[in-house]
Structure 1
Amino acid sequence: MSESRPPFPPFDLTTALQKVQAAEDAWNTCDPHRVSLAYTPDSEWRNRDRFITGRAQIVAFLTAKWQRELDYALRKSLWDFRDNRIAVRFQYECRDATGQWWRSYGNELWEFDDGGLMRRREASINDVAIDESDRRYFGPRPDDERGHDFALH
């Protein structure tokens, strides 16, 4: 039996927003295995300067990421969508082992197969050091913030 992950393409506004929120929710668990199941077994990624193929590499990448990026909290926002593609912008905050806090800004391009699994992800990301007092995100998005966009900076 083939895998699937609703909602399925082609996306409309409602289903694109659902897909983006589901991705945000999954990534905020910091569970590499859970996150990897939203991608095809042969999914291809470009993440910054890294090229990753397949779920095993996704799990390895995310495991290392969340060992370095402590207290990770992510927000994603729908930018646009068409057919089986979604564009998002995102921000996340984390601290490193020295206690330095970071806010990372980025854009992602997603392409899905017919079963709703992501087969391609391209991410461009920039990091900005912030003071702990400048933090905006404290864990997963609360229910009363769902559907709201976030400030550029």
Structure 2
Amino acid sequence: MSLSPPFTAETARAKVKKGQDLWNTQDPQTISKAYTPNSIWRNRSTFLTGTAAIEDFLTKKWQKEKSYRLRKELFAFTDNKIAVQFWYEYQDSHDDMKWKRCYGLEDWTFAEDGRMRKRQMSGNDVEISEEERWFKDGIDVNTVNISEAHW
């Protein structure tokens, strides 16, 4: 199955899960290979371009966000674009290791070879307690029941 555009429902869903699994490695160098050399990003209020900037951004991200666990779900797609909804949890090393969950949306635009050429992310962090966590150690993020209140 090709994960390059044009996407079908099946390939778009597979592309989203592949991205989820890649980000859960927390390996900036490997992750950056999924983007074109001049990929354009907006991540919240940060704007950047290119794989070197992506690697640097992700390195700093995971210096702050410890115990990171992410889930992405397909929201919508067209021929070369995919929109996703995501949730991730982490311990904030800049805030006494408090647990937080980020709720967000991303839109992705792909080059013909399947690498992402544009990524726009909007997200909001909410402090959560240990008891409120969804993605605890040993839990498959794909099996967590996320209620409609959180979709």
Per-residue CA deviations over 1:66-117 (Å, capped at 9, x if unaligned) read 0000000000000000000000000000011212000000000000000000
Give the % identical residues.
Answer: 47
Aligned mates of 1:84, 1:139 — CA distance in 2 = 35
Equivalent residue for 1:95? 91
Q: Normalization by structure 1: what TM-score?
A: 0.90
Per-residue CA deviations over 1:103-152 (Å, capped at 9, x if unaligned) read 0000000000000000000000101001111100135873873xx77334
Aligned mates of 2:124, 2:83 — CA distance in 1 = 17
Contact 1:75 1:141 in 2 (8 A): no
The structure 1 segments of at least 4 consecutive aligned residues displaced by more than 6 Å after TM superposition are none
Contact 1:25 1:140 in 2 (8 A): no
Give aligned pairs, total.
146
Give how far 1:8 is off: 0.9
Q: In the alignment, is residue 25 of structure 1 matched against residue 31 of structure 2?
A: no
- For residue 123 of structure 2, what is the amino acid of its counterpart? I
Contact 1:91 1:105 in 2 (8 A): yes
- For residue 97 of structure 2, what is the amino acid of its counterpart? G
Gaps of 5+ in 2: none
Gaps of 5+ in 1: 1-5
Aligned mates of 2:134, 2:12 — CA distance in 1 = 25
Q: Normalization by structure 2: what TM-score?
A: 0.91
Aligned mates of 1:60, 1:118 — CA distance in 2 = 17
Aligned mates of 2:140, 2:5 — CA distance in 1 = 27
